[in-house]
Structure 1
Amino acid sequence: MRIALDAMGGDFAPDAIVQGAILASQDLPEDAEIVLIGQEEVVRECLQKHGSTSSRISIVAASQVIQMGEHPTKALTQKPDSSISKGYQLLKLKEIDAFCSAGNTGAMLVGAMFSVKAVEGVLRPAIVGFVPKVNGSTGIFLDVGANAECKPEVLEQFGELGSIYAVNVLGIANPKVGLMNLGEEEGKGTVNLQAAHQLLKNNQSLNFIGNIEGRDLFNDKADVIVCDGFIGNVILKLSESIYDILLSKNIADPYFDKFNYEAVGGSPILGINGNAIIGHGVSSPTATCNMLHLAYQMAKSGITEQIQKTFSS
């Protein structure tokens, strides 16, 4: 299994990214190979600097770099040999099984849509966020930023995509799906949310449990939480801030340690023809290592193929 990593993406690239790849190469299953995509000489110097001689790490040259502040569409058009462009080229050709980057989020999304493209039948791919539950399990919520505004039909599909992920990657049988709203009653929320509620309720493939409120985010009421990208991103950043606040007050707790972005390492893009993960811009070696583990888990599960099969029918 070949997992590609954008060596040039992120605020602390390439050094932190390469260090993360070295860490992952030491404990990923034996069938995993890490492919670092970037400026070859720079990446090779980083590997030598950190004493890596692992045969499980290879390099694919990409001469250009898309910076964090660049316009995604323009950058991808003007930099066809960038590490992000090259990563998606390899994913489209099925020369790699997954692609990860902590680089320009917009470029990762645009690259996905114009290269590997959305799965036929999927209206809008979504980015997944992870929720540590107080009972020790893990839930997911989507979207967390790709789609700020969503039609009811899109929200319904988020429920389907999230359920497929929960079953195949998290191993949750018959995952409970909840719609994030400002009240539990069926008639609450905007016109869009009311319509989405009815679609989710009538979708026989889903175990829809109804509306949930913000207080239900971390309990076991729902395994998959559906929301638009605006609300999802607010929830994601709020959750991350809880860990930062506790850390600043020297308060340590194993549960709240899971709120640290490093714990998961990245957010999958669901609904495209390939496994792609977006990492945090400030990704550390630990976060990068965990992002590669997440990519391996996704590729091993066959989640993309399962989504394709589900939506083709």
Structure 2
Amino acid sequence: MDKTYTIAIDAMGGDNAPEEIVKGALLARDKYKNLHLNLYGDKGKILELIGETKQDRIKIINTTEMIEMGEEPVKAVRKKKDSSMVVAANAVKDGSADALFSAGNTGALLASGIFIVGRISGIERPGLLTVLPSVDDPKRQWVFMDVGANAEVKPSYLYQFAVLGNFYATHVLKKPNPEVKLLNNGTEEDKGDKIHIQAYQLLKNGKQLNFTGNIESRELLNGHADVVVADGFSGNAALKAIEGTALTMFAGLRKILVNGSLKTKIGAALVKPALKEFSSVLDYNNAGGAVIAGVKAPVVKTHGSAKAKTVSNTIGQIKIMLESNLVPDITKYVDENKDQFKIILEEK
């Protein structure tokens, strides 16, 4: 019999909560037979949504508060002790759940992950990790970290992001020897500011990392790396630029095809299947969520406007993280390589 896992779900977090969160949880429950899903939130509202559906492997834990999207993250986590997110995070901390899922306030989930679930000893700064597609080869997904948690970094942070991303690539994406690159403003070894130049040397000399140099943002979607390391400011800016460009490109193309001549419309009909296939490659609804990497259990944030399908896919992503022993293996590696994780280059 497969090992069973319990996932704590913040049912009240997100633009479409609790409706889409509950629907997605039910989809995941039916799809993944070894998961138990604990829903934290307004019990009355959740029960209304579940209706006559059997509650096998579904448990509802009533909470009286919720953290809104616009609230100051750390203050909200400290003040709203009975919020769905905080109570769910405490369930992971005390061992009654194995992982935490939310579509809510990103900063609050980051604070919950670091201050409640807890940082892995030896990791200086947990970061946000996401998985993106390659346009050249849709099957070659790649890890991008950090995409927003740490705007200011040290060289050692970037090195640790590479190690965390490398583990995710091997364990979850099943890549045997991930190619690691550093996001920079040029490919030469001496490019970038002092922090990135020093980080390059740490990565170049790092144990068990297949580091192959810098990568520019224009090459991110071309399948030239399995793990890309960035500071949180640059990573978040690049991620939003990718999302924005994709949305603008498809909106503009749709406008031209719909409002064009008869010949254009005929051509649009012919290429529609190919365009639909290409758009699915860039559609976040087909992917999972952003992982808070470097904490003591899987903590995953899906898009705030996520629908049921995305919620279910993200729960499936958490399932893989749990079954692959990702966090325990990271913890063991960091503990066995403490000296490696204390490397800090002297600033000249």
TM-score range, shorter chain: over 0.9
Which of 158, 174, 177 lines up with 1:174 in the alignment? 177
SS at match of 1:218: helix
Counterparts of 1:256 and 1:185 in 2: how far apart (Å)?
Answer: 33
Indicate the residue corresponding to 2:324 in structure 1. 301
| Matched residue, 2:53 | 52
Moved more, 211-220 or 37-46: 211-220
Q: Which has the larger radius of gyration?
A: 2
Instruction: State the superposition RMSD in angstroms.
Output: 1.4
SS at match of 2:222: coil
Match of 2:282? 259
Moved more, 212-221 or 186-195: 212-221
1:26 corresponding residue in structure 2: 30
Task: Between 66-75 and 54-63, report the one with greater CA deviation.
Answer: 54-63
TM-score of the aligned structures, taking structure 2 as reference length: 0.86
CA contact (8 A) 2:10 2:101 kept: yes
Task: State the partner residue of 1:211.
Answer: 214
Output the CA distance in 2 between the equivalents of 1:179 and 1:71: 31
Q: For structure 2, which runs of at least 5 residues remain unmatched after alignment?
A: 255-271, 337-348
**More moved, 76-85 vs 268-277:** 76-85
Quick check: 1:240–1:260 contact (8 Å CA) kept in 2?
no
Secondary structure of the 2:86 match is: helix
Deviations 1:87-121 (A, max 9, x none): 11111112112110011111101111111211000
Query: Counterparts of 1:158-237 in structure 2 under 5 Å?
Result: 158-237=161-240
Aligned to 2:67: 66
1:153 aligned residue? 156
Structure-2 residue corresponding to 1:10: 14
Q: What SS does the corresponding residue of 1:217 show, helix, strand or coil?
A: helix
For residues 186-236 of structure 1, what are the alpha-carbon distances to aligned partners after superposition, in whole Å with 9 as ceiling and x for unaligned?
A: 011111110100110011221100111123212332100000111111122
What residue is the counterpart of 1:87 in the other structure? Answer: 88
Equivalent residue for 2:244, pick from 238, 241, 246: 241
Q: Does 1:123 align with 2:124?
A: yes
Q: Conserved in 1, the CA contact under 8 Å of 2:8 and 2:89?
A: no
Structure 1 CA distance for aligned equivalents of residues 329 and 248 of structure 2: 39
- Structure 1: runs of 5 or more not aligned: none
Q: Deviations over 1:53-102 (max 9, x none)?
A: 24122212222111111111221122111111111111111211211001
CA shift, 1:247, in A, is 4.3
> Residue 47 of structure 1: CA displacement?
1.1
Identity across the alignment (%): 38
2: CA distance, partners of 1:229 / 1:7: 27
The amino acid that maps onto 1:19 is K
Deviation, structure 1 residue 26: 2.2
Q: 1:189 to 1:210 in 2, by over 3 A?
A: same
1:310 equivalent in alignment to 2:333 = yes
Contact 1:265 1:283 in 2 (8 A): no
Contact 2:113 2:119 in 1 (8 A): yes
In structure 2, the residue matched to 1:76 is 77
Amino acid in structure 2 at the alignment position of 1:288 = V
CA distance in 2, matches of 1:287, 1:239: 19
Q: Distance in 2 between matches of 1:185 and 1:91?
A: 43
2:124 counterpart SS class: coil
The structural deviation recorded for 1:245 is 2.9
- Report the TM-score, using the length of structure 1 for normalisation: 0.95
Deviation at 1:239, TM superposition (A): 2.2
CA shift for structure 1 position 238: 2.1
Question: Aligned partners of 2:203, 2:318: CA distance in 1, in Å?
Answer: 29
Question: Aligned equivalents of 1:160 and 1:79: distance in 2?
Answer: 34
Runs of 4+ in 1 over 4 A off after TM superposition: none
1:86 aligned partner, one-letter code: V
Matched residue count: 310
Q: Quote how far apart the aligned CAs of 1:283 are.
A: 1.3
Q: Which one-letter code corresponds to 1:156 in the other structure?
A: Y
Matched residue, 1:281: 304
- SS of the counterpart of 2:97? coil
SS state at 1:265 partner: coil
Check the 8 A contact 2:289/2:300 in 1, yes or no: yes
What is the SS of the residue equivalent to 1:5?
A: strand
Contact 1:144–1:228 (CA under 8 A) maintained in structure 2? yes
Measured after TM superposition, the shift of residue 246 of structure 1 is 4.6
**Alignment counterpart, residue 43 of structure 2, candidates 40, 45, 57:** 40
